[in-house]
Structures are given as C-alpha cells and as structure tokens.
Amino acid sequence: EHIVSRLVPEPKLSKDVEDWLNRIECEMYADNFEREGYTELDFIALMKMSDIVAIGIDKRGFQLKLEKEVKKLDTPELACGIPHDVLTWLDTIKLGQYKDLFKLEGYCTDEDVENLKGLSRAELQSIGITRRAHLNQLLMRLRYLQYPTDIEIQTNKTRMELENAPTLYLSEVAENSEESRQEYDFWLNLAEDKLKPESANLGKVEELKEKLRNLRNLCLLVLLLTNIMWIVFLYTLVFPQLTKYNLPDRAFSLFFLGIFSVIILIQFIAMIFHRFVTLVHLLARTKLKNKRLEENWVRPSSVDTVSRAQ
C-alpha cells in the first residue's frame, strides 16, 4: 500500500466536474466523487445508480437527480483497437497516473498489450487500483481491446470525416441577416417545443411498467394452472387403467426416471459443447512454435490497425 500511494498521486477534480456539480447543486458531494476517482466527466458519464449509491450518496432525492443528470452527459466514444503500447493506452483513457504502477507489474511494452485482456476486477485491485471510477474505466476499455472488424474500421473512418467536415452554425449566420435570424429562432423554438424530453416519472411510463408486470404475472399464473389441470386430467384418465394391472407406482417411477434421464443427457451435451469451445479458445491463443509458420502467418500490425481505426 505504501508503494502504491507513492507511485499513484491522489485524484483531484477537474474544473469541468466542479462546474458540473455546482450547476446541478450537488457540490456537497465533491469529496465523494474525488475519493472514488470520478474526476473527469468521461468517468461520470459511465455511472449507474449502483455507482452513485456506492460512493456514499444516500439521500434518495440526490440519487435520482444525479442519475438523471448523468444520462445527459456525452458518453465517450468507444472503438475497438490495439494501442502501440500499454503506457500510451493509459494516457489515452485518461489514467496516465497508473503508468509507474503498470511498469512495476510488468505491463509496459507493445508485447504486453495482449496480457491486459484477461485482467479481472480482482486482479486490478490486487495491483493497487482500488478507486471505483478507475476500475470501471479500465474494465470497460479492456473489453474494446481487440482488432476492429472491417465494419468498425469503416464506421470510425466515417465518424472522423464527419467530425472534420466544415461546419456552418446558423447562430453565427443569424447575426448578419434578419432572414437567417428568423430561421434560427424557428428551429430553436421547434427543438424546444418538440425535442425536449418528458419526465418519465411524471408521464405514464411507470404506470405502463406496472401494468406489464401484472400482465406477466397473470400469464405465468394461467400457464401454471393450465399445466396442473392438464396433469390432473391425464392422471384421471390413465390411473384407472393402470390400477387393473397394479402398475401405478411403477408407471410414475418410470415417468420421473425418464425426465431425470433427459436432464442428465442435456447436461452432458452442454458439458461437451463447453469443453469444445474452451479447446477452440485455447488453440486460438496458443503461440506458434514453428518459425516457418510464424513467418507465413499474416497478422496486421498494431500500428497499422490503430491507424486504420482512427
């Protein structure tokens, strides 16, 4: 713990987070956010209600307010790709303060990138990453640590072209023309009138959810009663015939034995399938020992993949 505290500086709220907390009148919880590492809006944008409760916000009103305000934040762009090395990747995801810690654990070069993929929450905590925001950020980014598909590469390319395309803002044009000003006011009023989201709590959403839950419960009850009536009906028809031959006990024993055999067979097939999938994953991760095969193995370089993804 002493080494970790020396290598990793204490988190400090960014100006954007401070302004955001002040704007929504939750500045009294600044220490809670700072203590758990929620120092960037990108980290806060990924919060769920469980995270809000976990950082120590126990008043229900503030929990609901924060949940609603978090949903309004822009979610950071998530794209698959392989970074050049671990340290560059940490800077990219705004967790550069852990570079010395990852160096100490042996994660620093481009060859160590693939070793990150299998890290779990418990393993990250064991190396000294304990703040909730940083754990969630790392685990979420690790899921996207893979070679992008052709569709993802094309999507990222299109997104970059749109972001770099020249943009003309109507508000700027409106300053020099009365006609443009009227058009700007029209679109502004239309967006305010038609695109403003309604409150789910004040609408009929909760009422609809409750009705759907009741409908689900009613359907399950009807299904259960129907099955019971069907079993009773069959028993009523079959039992007198079995009584003649003194076979009711044996018949029911055979019936339950058959059901149990089917369940065991399904479990056996599922186990074989699971073992096969595990073998496939193991073979896919196994490094080639034959140098000739390695030379002929076509694998895109990480630099090329990242450049294409960008």
Predicted pLDDT at 237: 66
Predicted pLDDT at 307: 43
Which token pair is 217? 């419960």
The model's pTM is 0.55
CB neighbourhood size of 272 (10 A)? 10
Q: How does the average pLDDT of the chain come out, rounded?
A: 78
* Cα Rg of the chain, angstroms: 30
Residues 188-227: b if buried by 16+ CB within 10 A, e if exposed: eeeeeeeeeeeeeeeeeeeeeeeeeeeeeeeeeeeeeeee
Predicted pLDDT at 33: 92
Specify the DSSP class assigned to residue 132: H
Tens digit of each residue's pLDDT (9 = 90 or more) over 112-143: 788 887 788 888 888 888 889 999 988 888 88
256, 274, 5, 277: which is closest to 129 by C-alpha? 5
133, 114, 179: which is closest to 41 by C-alpha? 133
Give the chain's residues under pLDDT 70. Answer: 1-9, 168, 170-171, 173-174, 196-206, 234-257, 287-310
Predicted pLDDT at 272: 92
Tens digit of each residue's pLDDT (9 = 90 or more) over 16-74: 999 999 999 999 999 999 988 898 888 999 899 999 999 999 899 999 999 999 988 88
The amino acid at residue 87 is L
Q: Are 139 and 121 in contact (CB under 8 A)?
A: yes
The amino acid at residue 245 is Y
